[in-house]
């Protein structure tokens, strides 16, 4: 039977952003550092938050603690906001008496995750804008400009070259079937959305993303940054290794990688080595697996994972800068070539008519 808070969390469209969650963790950690009791700290924090969802949730968490529940138990009533990673680290922090330190580590983790997501979004923003502009320009040319020239050529009753006829045919098809094409795009988008929600569909699409040329490599490196940093935070916080592996897989954002970590968790539970189990799947880069093996044998797994995360984050930043620098001129060049082909294909007969004195 679901609690009222769980039903409300599912019904509310607005979600708590990672930035809001990170700042809330940071502020709660500071309040605990200065000696304010947990219950009072939660009440103070919920009263000053501007995000209504987060304020309501923290108020309910404070109410649950007032009834005698632990913070981890209270947070678990809101699974859409607090992940398994969050709850596991908080639970260990409560048991060890280092809750403020656990919250600080979670804030660091969330802030770094927000930072890398923002860099990826900014890197993809300009190419997306240029690509959208390219499509818009082509549609305007095909739907508005070319029909005017087609009418002129039809009135003059002249023979058109094959390229011009093809362009005019594409324009007429677009003008006559735009609604059907729009409907088809919407239907295909909906089918893709529901297919991706299926376990089989998501697994297949996530595997395709990992195998994409160039972009697949960047995508895998982003996953490595995310999972190694999360893994390091959980190990340093004292979360058991098997539990950490299960939670880390869920934070990967990729079904294939998630399944790898779930299987690795079972293998470690059976007594196999962590590095050996990861290497058998051949998904993570060999260097990452080797460094994990070194950390595992030396008893410094969290330190090694942190170094891997920092190294790969720097590499991702450089790759994003390089891809952006290459994509911008490439997309502009594609836009120019498409417009040039359309212009020459349509205007060539017009120039011939003008040269022949038909106007």
Same domain, 134 and 77: no
pLDDT value, residue 14: 47
Domain assignment present for residue 132? The answer is yes
Distance CA 131, CA 291 (A): 40
For residues 292-298, give the mean pLDDT: 90
Last residue of a domain, one of 62, 82, 102: 82
Q: Is the pLDDT of residue 264 over 90?
A: yes
Do 130 and 182 reside in the same domain of the chain?
Answer: yes
Residue 229 sits in the same domain as residue 121: yes
**What's the confidence (pLDDT) of residue 135?**
83
Q: Are residues 120 and 45 in the same domain?
A: no
pLDDT for the residue 356: 53
The chain-wide mean pLDDT, for the chain, equals 85
- Structural domain contains residue 99: no
> Residues 101-124: what's their mean pLDDT?
87
CATH assignment of the domain containing 24:
1.20.81.30
Q: Which helix (H) or strand (E) holds 226?
A: helix 215-236
Domain boundary residue, one of 35, 65, 82: 82
Does the predicted TM-score (pTM) go above 0.85?
no
Check residue 183 and give its pLDDT. 93
The verdict on residue 96 lying in a domain is no
Reported as a single tens digit per residue, the pLDDT across 9-57 is: 443 434 678 888 999 999 999 999 888 999 999 999 988 888 889 899 9
Say yes or no: 329 and 271 in one domain: yes
pLDDT at 266: 92
Contact 195, 201 (CB under 8 A): yes
Asked if residue 208 belongs to a domain, the reply is yes
For residue 318, is pLDDT > 70?
Answer: yes
Domain check: are 48 and 126 in the same one? no
Q: Hey, how many other C-beta atoms are within 10 angstroms of the C-beta on 213?
A: 6
* 107 closest CA partner among 54, 178, 28, 44: 28
Q: What pLDDT was estimated at residue 8?
A: 43
Considering the domain architecture, whether residues 298 and 355 belong to the same structural domain is answered as yes
Identify whether residues 174 and 48 lie together within a single domain. no
349 assigned to some structural domain: yes
Least-confidence region, from 8-22, 199-213, 278-292: 8-22
pLDDT in tens, 207-233: 999 998 888 888 999 999 989 999 998
Do residues 234 and 247 touch, judged by C-beta distance below 8 A?
yes
Segment 307-320 mean pLDDT: 90
Burial class from Cβ neighbours inside 10 Å (0-12, 13-18, 19+) for residue 148 reads exposed
The model's confidence at residue 353, banded by pLDDT at 50, 70 and 90, is: low
> What is the per-residue pLDDT for 7?
44
Confidence (pLDDT) at 5: 47
The tally of domains found in the chain comes to 2
Percent of the residues in the chain that have a pLDDT greater than 90, as a whole number: 33
Contact 62, 24 (CB under 8 A): no
Instruction: Clarify whether residues 134 and 266 are in a common domain.
Output: yes
Find the range with the poorest average confidence among 222-236, 288-302, 339-353. 339-353
136 CB-contact burial (10 Å; exposed 0-12 / middle 13-18 / buried 19+): exposed
On whether residue 93 sits in a domain, the answer given is: no
Give the pLDDT confidence of 53-64 residue by residue, as tens digits.
Answer: 989 999 999 999
162 and 304, same domain (yes or no): yes
pLDDT for the residue 354: 58
Averaged pLDDT for residues 172-178 = 83
Residue 74 sits in the same domain as residue 123: no
Domain that holds residue 229: 113-359
> 228 or 5: which carries more pLDDT confidence?
228
Q: Which of 82, 98, 126 is the last residue of a domain?
A: 82
Q: What is the pLDDT of residues 120-167, one digit of tens each?
A: 888 888 788 888 888 888 888 888 888 888 887 787 777 778 888 888
In a domain, 279, yes or no: yes
C-alpha–C-alpha distance, residues 336 and 359, integer Å: 29
Q: Are residues 227 and 280 in the same domain?
A: yes
What phi and psi values does residue 242 have, to the nearest 5 degrees? Answer: -65, -45
């Amino acid at each position: 039977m679901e609690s009222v808070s769980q039903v409300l969390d599912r019904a509310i469209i607005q979600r708590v952003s990672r930035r809001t969650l990170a700042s809330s963790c940071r502020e709660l950690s500071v309040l605990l550092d200065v000696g304010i009791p947990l219950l009072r700290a939660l009440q103070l924090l919920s009263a000053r938050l501007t995000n209504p969802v987060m304020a309501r949730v923290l108020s309910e968490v404070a109410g649950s603690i007032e009834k005698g529940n632990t913070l981890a138990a209270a947070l678990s009533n809101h699974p859409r906001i607090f992940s398994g990673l969050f709850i596991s680290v908080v639970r260990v922090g409560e048991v060890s008496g280092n809750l403020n330190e656990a919250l600080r580590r979670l804030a660091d983790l969330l802030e770094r995750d927000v930072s890398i997501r923002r860099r990826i979004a900014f890197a993809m923003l300009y190419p997306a804008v240029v690509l959208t502009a390219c499509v818009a320009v082509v549609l305007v040319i095909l739907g508005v400009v070319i029909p005017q020239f087609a009418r002129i050529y039809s009135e003059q009753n002249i023979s058109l070259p094959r390229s011009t006829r093809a362009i005019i045919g594409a324009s007429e098809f677009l003008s006559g079937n735009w609604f059907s094409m729009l409907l088809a795009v919407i239907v295909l988008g909906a089918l893709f959305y529901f297919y991706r929600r299926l376990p089989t569909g998501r697994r297949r699409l996530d595997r395709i993303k990992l195998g994409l040329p160039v972009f697949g490599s960047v995508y895998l490196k982003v996953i490595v940054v995310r999972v190694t940093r999360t893994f390091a935070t959980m190990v340093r916080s004292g979360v058991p290794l098997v539990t950490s592996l299960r939670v880390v897989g869920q934070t990967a954002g990729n079904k294939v990688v998630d399944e790898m970590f779930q299987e690795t968790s079972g293998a470690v539970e059976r007594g196999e080595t962590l590095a050996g189990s990861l290497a058998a799947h051949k998904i993570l880069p060999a260097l990452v697996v080797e460094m994990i093996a070194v950390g595992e044998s030396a008893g410094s797994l969290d330190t090694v994972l942190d170094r891997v995360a920092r190294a790969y984050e720097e590499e991702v930043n450089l790759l994003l800068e390089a891809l952006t620098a290459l994509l911008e001129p490439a997309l502009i060049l594609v836009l120019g070539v498409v417009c040039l082909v359309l212009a020459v294909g349509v205007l060539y007969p017009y120039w011939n008519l003008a040269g022949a004195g038909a106007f």
